Amino acid sequence: MQLAIFWIFSVLMLLFAGLVVVMRNPVASALSLVMCFICLAGLYFTLDAFFIGIIQILVYAGAVMVLFLFIIMLLNLKEEVARRLKLSAFFGGGLVLCGFVYAMVKAVINLPEVWQTAPKLETGGISDVARIGFKLFETYNMPLQIVGVILLVATIGVVFLSSRQLR
Amino acid sequence: MNPILLEAVLVCYAFLLLLVEAFNSRMPRRYFGWAAVVGTTVVFFMTFFVDSSKMNPEAGYYGFYAADTLAILFKRFILLVSVCVLIMAIEFAPVLVRYLPVEKPDAGSGEMYSLVLFACAGMMWMASAQNFVMIFVSVELVTITFYVMVAMMRGNRASLEAGIKFLILGAIATSLNVYGIAWIFGTLGTTELPEIGAILQSIDSSLFPSLLFGFGLIFAGISFKVAAFPFQFWVPDVYQGAPTPVTAFLSVGSKASAFVVLMRVLESMLSNSELSSKILFMLSLVAGVTILMGNLSAIPQTNFKRLLAYSSIAHAGYLLMGAASIVSGNSGPAIAYYLMAYLISNMLAFGVLLVVGKSTGSDELVHFNGLGKKSPWLATALTLAVLSLAGLPFTVGFFGKFFIFSSALQAQQFILVGIGILGIGCGFYYYLKVIRAMFWLPASKEQSISSPIEISKPYAVMLILLSISLIIFGVYPEPIFNLIP
């Protein structure tokens, strides 16, 4: 059952990810990306990571992509004009892609069946919000605080680069 | 003093500057620049009083943060770079403001100083990052700060274009980096570098492909930061478009901190001999291509900033050559020394470029024609800088190259040494082109500098100090070498 759901969601996810690139209309692309994120959340659900799945839907599919759609509509982007593909760029990109896929397939094929089995959790679930919170604020306290500095810098950047008149 | 305080003090100070600036719109922005210089200098002196035994193993940062001699050395290095960059930024502020929609003549330059401090703190965290999570977070802090700083002259098309290019390529590099970390975490079950080193010593060889794939992706992310081969495309455009102090910061600080990360990752990945031979082969391949690519593309350049960009790629190649010959045992100190030499000579070159660019309004090489007659002292300083970058004896750059090449010879990387010598040959050609422009080529009327270039006193002091240390450490390298673990 779980395996079947996994296959359905991953195939759908790849399909929508492909549509993001292929679609000419930016709004259609953005909506495909939303669908892609929702399928990814489905994958998280099959792995019993309910909290991450819900966050994925709330933050990415909800907040971030709505922002994307707003900006696309605000800028009133029209359908993209079809460009002629340059043969050299096509081959170069294809070469890089082939190398990447080859390395990845080789890495996946060589993985042993079961390398490590994580110890069983005491409460039998990992989607506990408190658990994630403790992990973040205790074990990963320092990186978390640096992330705070990153957000501050990003805010300064946005204000500086977009304000109409600097005082 | 607990070493963790260094970055904390710096970040708090930057935040304080930002707040004071926001509520004091009357105060001249120059003062904030000098306040930032003072703060960075104080933190620099604080590094001499740190005591890593004060670090509490129970505390949350333990295991993420290393305060060994390597980390402290690079923290000092990065703080010195930041002081130079801040002084350059103060000198550059009038040019920056020209491209900003401002109410008052010097508004908008204040953010630059606090952003430099934030980037400096990020690089210092990179220098002591001991865990892939920490590496990722600190690298992102530095990269995101640079996205903003590169696009800072927002009225200038070149700067904006550079910002967009940097943003898009940086995002690709970041995603590759994260993907690599995920692969390594998935294979080994940990993100801590010392633990990874311990696990790798006794590991089944069937896991090698996935480890190599993960390391390759992480290396791709690092090579974006050091401007090495697969990810060097952004360098010329971004260096040319970015404000000059930011370019100097990008070329020295960003590169140095990325090399500490690379050295730490290599240290843990090389604990397995079978894996290490493959990784070192990959490194030497990348080093060779980077040296050739940087040096050969630098030859036809006519813009000095672009030339320095390609030369920065070439220097990344030499540094990678040092990393590839890590089996010789003394390539770690060689890399550190090379970075010191690169700091002194590159900062001097960018320092002169900044004032010449400011007074002529362009970075083209033709604008350096006749500089030897107009401003002989600036021309002398630039001559020293390019000679040191080329690696002439009796300059600090010579010893940098010497140590790297000798460690490569010890590691029997003969092909790489051959490529390196070829690269140095090319280097002499394009670096001497600058000297030829300054002293031999006559200045035509419309493009030349009419009067000697005026520079402020502190800026002159910085250039003089850099020039003197360039010569002193070129004759007598022991003081720097003694600092290196």
Whether B138 sits inside 8 A of A141 (CB atoms) is no
Whether A154 sits inside 8 A of B125 (CB atoms) is no
- Share the mean pLDDT of chain B: 87
Partners of B18 on chain A (C-beta within 8 Å) are 156
Whether A110 sits inside 8 A of B209 (CB atoms) is yes
Nearest to A150 among B114, B141, B207 (CB): B141
Q: Is B395 exposed, middle or buried (0-12, 13-18, 19+ CB in 10 A)?
A: buried
Which of A95, A147, A153 should one mutate to test binding to chain B, selecting the residue with the greatest count of B CBs within 10 A? Answer: A153
Mean pLDDT value of segment A98-126: 73
Say yes or no to pLDDT of B204 above 80.
no
Which of A137, A144, A149, A162 should one mutate to test binding to chain B, selecting the residue with the greatest count of B CBs within 10 A? Answer: A149
Which of B21, B24, B120, B133 should one mutate to test binding to chain A, selecting the residue with the greatest count of A CBs within 10 A? Answer: B133
- Of A112 and B46, the one with more pLDDT: B46
Q: How far apart are the first and last CA of chain B?
A: 21
Q: Which residue of A has its CA nearest to B125?
A: A146
Contact assessment for residue B366 and residue B436, using Cβ atoms and an 8 Å cutoff: no
Closest CA to A47 of A2, A81, A9: A2
Q: Is B177 exposed, middle or buried (0-12, 13-18, 19+ CB in 10 A)?
A: buried
Q: Which residue of B has its CA nearest to A166?
A: B102
Tens of pLDDT, residue by residue over A27-80, are 888 899 999 999 999 998 888 788 888 989 999 888 888 888 888 888 877 766
Tens of pLDDT, residue by residue over B94-114, are 888 888 887 777 677 788 899
Say yes or no to pLDDT of B92 above 60.
yes
Partners of A112 on chain B (C-beta within 8 Å) are 204, 206-207
Those residues whose C-beta lies under 8 Å from the C-beta of residue A158, and which sit 6 or more positions away, are none
d(CA B63, CA A102): 35
Partners of B122 on chain A (C-beta within 8 Å) are 146, 149
Structure tokens at B98: 């020209």
Which of A142, A144, A161 should one mutate to test binding to chain B, selecting the residue with the greatest count of B CBs within 10 A? Answer: A142
- Annotated domain spans of chain B: 1-178+229-261, 281-485
Closest CA to B256 of B427, B458, B70: B70
Partners of B60 on chain A (C-beta within 8 Å) are 138-142
Tens of pLDDT, residue by residue over B262-310, are 988 988 888 878 888 888 888 999 999 999 999 998 888 888 899 999 9
β-bridge mates for residue B303, sequence order: B364
Whether B103 sits inside 8 A of A167 (CB atoms) is yes
Contact assessment for residue B351 and residue B81, using Cβ atoms and an 8 Å cutoff: no
Q: Note the ipTM here.
A: 0.89
β-bridge mates for residue B192, sequence order: B131
Q: Which residue of B has its CA nearest to A138?
A: B60
Q: Is B25 on the interface with A (CB under 8 A)?
A: yes
Whether A149 sits inside 8 A of B108 (CB atoms) is no
Tens of pLDDT, residue by residue over B427-481, are 999 998 888 888 888 776 655 556 677 788 888 899 999 999 998 888 887 877 7
Count of CB atoms situated within 10 Å of the CB of B446: 5
Percent of chain B with pLDDT over 70: 97
